[in-house]
Structure 1
């Protein structure tokens, strides 16, 4: 049954990729079938649904859906990037840094990519800047900030690690991610000639409207949420609901539209996979997966092998919704069997390298970039295909580079 449980997971990932179905919903269905076959009760299966994680993700995404609906985040992004003026070589750097900050404050990686990608790809088309450069730095910055304890990926990672006893890692987790993403961002910036950029037109001269009352209230609410979480240690999901309720009362955004804008597909993906994963853990499937990975690695190569595995998986499935819930539970088993392996190092390698793969157009970040640039530049089929191949190449290079660095202890340097 342990082996069969892993086969069910692989089947869910395969069907999700090939048939474009929600892997989380498939996992819940498969959990029922697997439970019946293994004699596990429905009540036990239902315990695999992480209600605490669901509330946290729902609260954060609801609050930032309100901010996105009324244009607060988009306008803030425009104002920050406009600061570059004629110093066009600073635009990729500003996009990267602001993507980190914005994602870290709560929206997380995917919403930040969605907010920033349209604007960065419009700049790429208008100013003839490499779309590969701007899209890559947008994805890397969004994913780096997404590891914040206020954002979805950071919340998911901390929860998954806490389940096997690895706690208090939030700051180290974020620091490892930001450091490694920045290393690759610098490589891409230099490689694609970001430092050579110049333009006749001054981006800062463009007229950008001022924040209206509703947008100012929204930003004030987000700032208040951050302070309450960081200083008062209130649950980020609960305080997000509280702030959103106040903003809704003040009519700063359309509540019904914000609720529809919540990424329900992602929430169901993450929590649905968790239902099947808990059953797999109970049936011993994770022990089999851990043993298989241990057989091809040593204590020296563990972080690199885990990173490569997560990167390859992420090309065909969700990093935070599938890869992290699948591989992070193997960390304590691998560390115990190999000896001398730091659990946080393995967890950082899995999380970071899987998200570097998101640059690929097969993943969310790359797909957003391709769609946004095709629209902004009116790109033909050949141009889109060329961009597709270049972005996949940058993704593959990123996975390779970080795997090499992890082999030499990159994720251990800051611990």
Structure 2
């Protein structure tokens, strides 16, 4: 049996084991990576770790959740959500869409999508916690907003996708690529809004008055209210300054978001050691284990050429629309675990022979492939989805993970089928 197929079967075994036995998927995936890598593929364990462990994502998850745990502890995030509610005059139904638009505009402006989500997801999830909004709804609105702006010609992913297309001798309309993605994600956001409780917010107005903040010293443990009122005290002003540094550094200057978040968190911890100590247990450690373990296995799977193994079957398909569907499906499947940019860079060349031997529109096919690869970033096994899970309320984190997993995996099927029907089929 080809080693690529064994690796794919191993991934299915990981999913089945964790589903049936309810153990941390990341822990099982670590073991599977070592077993498949060393015993089946002959890859040394040291190399599995060095090549596969997502160190940058680990630092991002830990740094961001550590920083925002401090900001939540001293009342800064609560103050920000109060300001946001005042901005929309207390109309909660507008809050998810404000987050959608802000995320989309930042992505269009060229800010790295992971950095945008890392900055905005904690604020969005605090809105959800404080005003009893479904955290899945707020998380999806942030992710879909980023995807809506993520293929603009001025965005990181949009400009890189267009560059890859040009390098492979293709010509597409960047405006249509962006418009198709924007419309698709607005509609997807509307579906999520209706499905996950957005409609019940219609007509609901709330006061932006800030209640006392309850500090948490560990899972499920609380103490007396610590900060009351809406004043900007010294700790809050320092934290706001740190968040501004994080946003400007990550979005405008593309400084590594994990390094910057950790630096700001440490600075705030030095200023207030007690707040730093309380924040450490609130880092999303189970999510970090889950995501890092799973992605270590997926990186092994990619290094063994499993996706290329699947992609080679595309060349044998004689029906262009079916081949297009397969390419989009592989893009969606791969992007649910790995880099969207990497998947597009690998799969756009696969489309070249297909476009040369058929009447399919290059713009239509690349649009379908790009959308299929981008919208599955809501999966909790992608960096953006993982940030949503990590910043969800601890009591709801497992449920948010399962719901995002179901949502993301359903899009692996729904997005390729829909985009091929809407964009590719009319020109086939």
TM norm structure 2:
0.62
Match of 1:349 in 2: 372
For structure 2, which runs of at least 5 residues remain unmatched after alignment? 107-112, 150-155, 166-174, 212-228, 356-361, 397-401
Task: Report deviation, 1:296.
Answer: 7.5
Query: Residue 107 of structure 1 corresponds to which residue in structure 2?
Result: 118
Among 277, 288, 298, the residue aligned to 2:298: 277
CA offset digits 1:189-226 (Å, max 9, x no partner): 68999599436xx5237566314331222121011122
What does residue 65 of structure 1 align with?
A: 69
Q: 1:87 to 1:326 in 2, by over 3 A?
A: closer
Superposed displacement of residue 6, structure 1? 0.8
Matched, 1:243 2:243: no
Q: Describe the superposition over 1:118-177 as per-residue Cα deviations: whole angstroms up to 9, x where unpaired.
A: 23426xxxxxxxxxxx6664232232366699xxxxxxx98xx99xx89xxxxx999987
Residue 232 of structure 1 and its aligned partner are, at CA, apart by 3.7
- Write out per-residue CA displacement over residues 69-91 of structure 1, whole angstroms, 9 at most, x where no aligned residue: 33322331233124444756545
CA contact (8 A) 1:95 1:137 kept: no
Work out whether residues 144 and 174 of structure 1, in 8 Å CA contact, stay in contact via their aligned partners in 2: no
Q: Does residue 1:183 correspond to 2:196, yes or no?
A: no
Give the paired residue count.
349
Q: Counterpart of 2:207?
A: 204
| Counterpart among 296, 310, 332 of residue 289 in structure 1 | 310
Contact 1:70 1:252 in 2 (8 A): no
Separation in structure 2 between the aligned mates of residue 4 and residue 221 of structure 1, nearest angstrom: 47
- Deviations for 1:270-316, whole angstroms, at most 9, x for unmatched residues? 322232223223333222333457778976577766777888x8xxx
What is the alpha-carbon distance in structure 2 between the residues aligned to residue 335 and residue 79 of structure 1? Answer: 44
CA RMSD in angstroms, aligned pairs only: 5.0
Give the distance between the partners of 2:121 and 2:282, measured in 1 at CA.
13
Distance 1:337 1:409 in 2: 18
Pairing partner for 1:254 from 275, 300, 304: 275
Q: 2:179 & 2:77 partners in 1: Cα distance?
A: 24
- The structural deviation recorded for 1:29 is 0.7
Give the aligned partner of residue 142 of structure 1: 142
* Correspondence for 2:42 among 39, 48, 67: 39
**TM-score by structure 1 length?**
0.64
| 2: CA distance, partners of 1:3 / 1:398 | 20
Taking the aligned partners of 1:176 and 1:252, their CA distance within structure 2 comes to: 49
- 2: CA distance between counterparts of 1:205 and 1:278? 45
Structure 1 match to 2:171: none
